[in-house]
Structure 1
């Protein structure tokens, strides 16, 4: 048995993704997002969360998925990536589960069009669903982190 990981499950399109609870600061309902000029299309802008300006990324856009309107279930998951707080827009944030780290397999090259560098692995859940574990450090590459850090000044 490997170590137990606490994971937040969220949905994008018909897929389920996971991110470790210790990387998640908070999960928020959708709120007004201020667009920032000259940023990639998937960077939706910034939000003011309790006095802190946080950049927001549309994960559908990041992964070149079809865009969708926000719904009642849409959420912004605030995560910490390399000392930077970033919000990810997801279709839904479902629940928190425990996964044995041994249950996480190396990802194939592409899953649902998402390149392997964004993925930490794939876990098979007890109910038969596959859970794609994100590699948060890769979801934001270095140049994008530099761009985002500029709007925090």
Structure 2
């Protein structure tokens, strides 16, 4: 399994690369009047209009204090033949990993979109099921 590891605030998350269309530098997001709170706005990427979702709000992760050295990126994801984007604080790396290192969590105390926890020697990464996150 191959995953893209990204950072929201100081936490690290991963999403399967099979869902990732592209990773782009931050760009101007056009706000949409009266859009739900979880929609940050839209961008025009190579002629495609793409909705940008507020993943911090969807996952209940506090936003990082914006400073001049923030390296925001937009990850474009393919969801049921539709492209959507999420703004992340930083994309750390793309990794191949063995599915056996993914720890499943007991169902009663986890959020529905958490697929598991990836334990590395020096860090813990939450693997998210992007389909389940967006379906809520």
TM-score range, shorter chain: 0.7 to 0.9
Residue 101 of structure 1 deviates from its aligned partner by 0.7
Task: Spell out the pairing of 1:4-153 with structure 2 (5 A cutoff).
Answer: 5-68=1-64, 69=66, 72-108=70-106, 109=108, 116-125=111-120, 127-141=121-135
Give the unaligned 5+ runs of structure 1.
143-153
TM-score by length of 2: 0.88
Displacement after TM superposition at 1:137 (Å): 0.7
Q: 1:107 to 1:40 in 2, by over 3 A?
A: farther
Query: For each residue in 1:40-86, what CA deviation from the matched residue of structure 2 results, as whole angstroms up to 9, or x when unmatched?
Result: 22210110000000000121122222233375411100011122211
Gaps of 5+ in 2: none
Q: CA RMSD in A?
A: 1.8
